[in-house]
Amino acid sequence: MTLDEIKKLPPLSEKRKKEMEDFKNKDFSDCPKLTRDELLEFKPWYTIHPEWAETEKADSENLKISVPR
């Protein structure tokens, strides 16, 4: 999914936000642990998508992101 597609999604309902806040499952046994070498392969999101780093939104409900270069 692209950022443009994400921007077009409808806002989350209050019910859905509440479900996410109330999530208590701590059983992640189906998620394998990553080794140190595997973790080192990860890159920060702003190096993969630098176009997102300078995103500014007009309304106050959206986050203004500014990443030092």
Residue 56, Cβ neighbours under 10 Å: how many? 9
pLDDT digits (tens, 9 = 90+) for 14-32: 999 999 999 988 888 888 8
Instruction: Give the CA count within 13 Å in the CB-facing half-sphere of 21.
Output: 7
pTM above 0.75, yes or no: no
At 37-65, the pLDDT tens digits run 999 999 988 888 888 776 555 555 566 66
Residues for the chain: how many in total? Answer: 69
